[in-house]
Chain A
Amino acid sequence: MVMIETKAERMVINMGPHHPSMHGVLRLIVTLDGENIVDCEPVLGYLHRSMEKIAENRTIVQYLPYVTRWDYLATMFTEAITVNAPEKLADVPVPRRASYIRMMMLELSRIASHLLWLGTFIADIGAQTPFFYVFREREMIYDLFEAATGMRMMHNYFRIGGVAADLPYGWLDKCEDYCKYQLEKIDEYERLITNNPIFRKRVEGVGKISREDAINWGLSGPMLRASGVKWDLRKVDHYELYDELDWEVQWATEGDCLARYLVRVGEMRQSCKMILQAIKQIPGGSYENLEAQRVLAGPKSEWNSLDYQFISKKPSPTFKIPAGEHYVRVEAPKGELGIYLIGENNVFPWRWKIRPPGFINLQVLPQLVRGMKIADIMAILGSVDIIMGEVDR
């Protein structure tokens, strides 16, 4: 039988690198059949800055200012992994107080990252207002960072064996106030967004990833957890002192954009609770200057124990990375951030391979958007949560 078929010519449209919702400089070559997506091909590399090569002729202390430019919205995690890798290779101990400070900073950074993700995700599907709400709260996190580290985004705060400086007096109180405030505000976002019928229609069942697919594509972080895999490196790897805090892994089984949204919102709540616990449990409490306490109390004082210090030993500029190789990872807001480090008993690493979560998570995009509408690209891309700084490095 002869069928008369009218078919429009397919249109190839180039989205990005300059496009309002391409999150930086991602470029998508999209083939369209009317409003439907036939194919989508991401083009990367517009923000490539040779981060791995730069690491090969920098000492760790020299390299630390670069790393916050990978994922510039979750800056503490890039610093954490940069010091964790040589620390683990050289077996440098981290004092308990330093570890608690690190955890608080990491969780604050996670909230900041998820907040910005929430704003851009909702803006991507058309609602501009929550963007301003999340910036209001994110600003407070950056004020806390500024008080502790001196910088708002590029803090250069982590050091091998601890952190660069102790917390200033009163910081813990401010942080506690902030966490309580943030918990209320998360409820506010949920009231505004979660049950909005238009939002639900745009994200429910969109961009579905099955459990098997998620594992096979190597997804990590909220992308993986929203697909029904209860996998959080903070629980799996037991790094820092996360085991001393009472918290739960956020996960969902649907695997769609809504599940990823709910997982991230849940993680913000958990992070607030973790910081509140850490504030109570931190060894040494909120003293302004533990060094002064220590000097005042003499050599026999309990303050001299390693637990109360913010750094175990000052990292020398000539800190040598021992010969050997290993892979270290942390649970960044976007997923598993890892470093494959090869040392050769030199101040410079021989190889510094970065495993950015956004890069791996982005791979799955073309197969998710195939057969969907143009508007779904934005919803799905938003829910993947990429930062081109770390995708291209």
Chain B
Amino acid sequence: MTGIDLQRSFIDLFSGLGIDPEVARVMWMPLPMLAVVTIATVGALAATWLERKISAAAQQRIGPEYAGPFGLAIPAADVVKLLIKQTVVPANADPLLFVLGPVIVFISVFLSFLVIPFGENLVISNVATGIFLVIAISSIAPIGLLMSGYSSNNKYSLLGGLRAAAQSISYEIPLALAALAVAMMSNGLSTVEIVEQQADLGILSWNVWRQPIGFIIFIIAALAECERIPFDLPEAEEELVAGYQTEYSGVNFMLFYGASYANLFLSALLVAILYLGGWELPFPIDKVAELLSIPETNPIWQVVAAFLGATVILLKAFAFIFLAILLRWTVPRVRIDQLLDLGWKFLLPIGLANLLLTAALKLAFPGAFGG
């Protein structure tokens, strides 16, 4: 294992202070959890700020300006506003399901951040089925959407919930197929392994070159999973008022809102991990270390490398978020039948063909395609 290992350093530090290593390990445990919630929240908040600023730029406006420098405090203001607003539950709604819906959506998104690595050891749990876990957990979200749409006792909500379910089911399959092709090349489902096999040659070894079709499928399906224009049918404002969110207010609405942006951030990170080399820099950083004749175990170098890696993966993720935001404010919305046609009649066959092609290439060129 190369690279920084915070857990070991932490435990070593506290055992050095005369604390039992087991106790130190328990002390360590809440920290990554706190970190993952913080990272996901901050990422989502940054995405909302970017959404406002980029949409403003596209529309020749200035956007938020007075709340903090460049309006940076506006996401915090949003959260505070939504927290202190009254939570209204419609008279004939099912109160339990109505509250449970947004909670399920929120948890399913935040749980997926468990397996997102920001560096070789900067990951909460490097489970062997990382990508599979993300896809499995994210399929729980439509249940929450359907639940809230059905329990709101509102026809717009019901239609929105049904659309959300139909859309998620149709686009999860191409998404999974695209991820599967990558997993096939990497000989593993672990997110860390997938990044590590893209490490040898810097930018040239990123999966985007070996999986261009899969990359495009994944981006389209990820946009559809995030329910953003051109695929924001479940909450299409002009048609369904706000879809499944119509009756929500206050904290419950915030859970939906936060989950949708956290989901965008998650998808962006997945794109970075699966196709853009994760935390790897465009040039192989180990070679730089060799050139500068710094030993890999040098702690300062390890901190610098980890910091660079985390920055790079965030940059890649926010590049995708930028693309998604720009798309949202440029293109119109597709119709429900066109959306399903695209999912089932175009992306699914192409995804299957891509999987087949990847398998063939893997057999033919085991060197380049991870045989």
Contacts and interface: CB of A to CB of B under 8 A. Distances in A.
Interface of A: 11, 13, 19-21, 32, 35, 122-129, 131-133, 136, 192, 196, 198-199, 201-202, 373-378
A122 B332 contact: yes
Given A13-B155, A129-B58, A132-B60, A198 B239 contact: no
B59 interface: yes
A198 B230 contact: yes
A81 B363 CA distance: 78
B333 A196 contact: no
A192 B337 CA distance: 24
Contacts of A126: 229-230, 232, 236, 238, 331-333
Given A126-B332, A132-B61, A199-B332, 13 more contacts: A11-B155, A127-B331, A127-B332, A129-B58, A129-B330, A133-B59, A199-B331, A201-B334, A202-B333, A374-B239, A377-B239, A378-B238, A378-B239
B237 A125 contact: no
Contacts of B155: 11, 13
B72 interface: no
A376 B335 contact: yes
A129 B332 CA distance: 10
Given A122-B332, A125-B332, A198-B230, A136 B60 contact: yes
B297 interface: no
Interface string B231-244: 01100111111000
A20 B241 contact: yes
Contacts of B253: none
| Interface size of B as a range | 20 to 34
11 contacts: A19-B241, A125-B238, A126-B232, A127-B331, A129-B330, A192-B330, A198-B331, A198-B334, A202-B334, A202-B338, A373-B337
B156 A20 contact: no
Contacts of B240: 374
Interface in B233-260: 233, 236-241
A55 to B, nearest CB: 36
B330 A35 contact: no
A20 B237 contact: yes
A375 B237 CA distance: 11
B273 interface: no
A124 B238 contact: yes
A375 B156 contact: no
B145 interface: no
A13 B156 contact: yes
A128 B335 contact: no
Given A202-B334, A373-B336, A376-B335, A21 B239 contact: yes
B141 interface: no
6 closest Cβ pairs, A-B complex: A126-B333, A132-B59, A21-B238, A126-B332, A127-B332, A125-B332
A191 to B, nearest CB: 12
Interface string B25-63: 000000000000000000000000000000100111100
B78 to A, nearest CB: 19
Contacts of A128: 55, 59, 329
A189 to B, nearest CB: 13
B159 interface: yes
Contact of A129 (B159, B329, B333, B337): B329
B332 A196 contact: yes
Given A129-B58, A136-B60, A374 B159 contact: yes
A382 to B, nearest CB: 9
A136 B61 CA distance: 11
Contacts of A374: 159, 239-240, 336
Given A132-B60, A132-B61, A196 B331 contact: yes
A35 B336 contact: yes
Interface centre among B60, B159, B335 (most CB of A within 10 A): B335
B239 A127 contact: no
Nearest to B339: A375
Nearest to B240: A374
Contacts of B331: 126-127, 196, 198-199
A35 B156 CA distance: 11
Contacts of B330: 127, 129, 192
Nearest to B61: A132
A16 B333 CA distance: 21
Nearest to B330: A129
B332 to A, nearest CB: 4
Contacts of B58: 129
B239 to A, nearest CB: 5
Contacts of A32: 159
A201 B338 contact: yes
Contacts of B229: 126-127
Contact of B238 (A11, A20, A136, A196): A20
A120 B330 CA distance: 15
A378 B237 CA distance: 11
B336 A198 contact: no
Contact of B335 (A13, A19, A131, A373): A373
Nearest to B156: A13
A374 to B, nearest CB: 5
Contact of A375 (B59, B239, B241, B329): B239
A128 B232 CA distance: 13
A125 B229 CA distance: 11
Contacts of B59: 128-129, 131-133
A20 B235 CA distance: 12
Interface in B311-347: 329-338
A11 B162 CA distance: 14
A129 B326 CA distance: 11
B327 to A, nearest CB: 10
A127 B59 CA distance: 11
A125 B238 CA distance: 7
Nearest to A382: B238
Contacts of B232: 126
B44 to A, nearest CB: 21
B307 to A, nearest CB: 37
Given A126-B230, A373-B337, A198 B332 contact: yes
B241 A202 contact: no
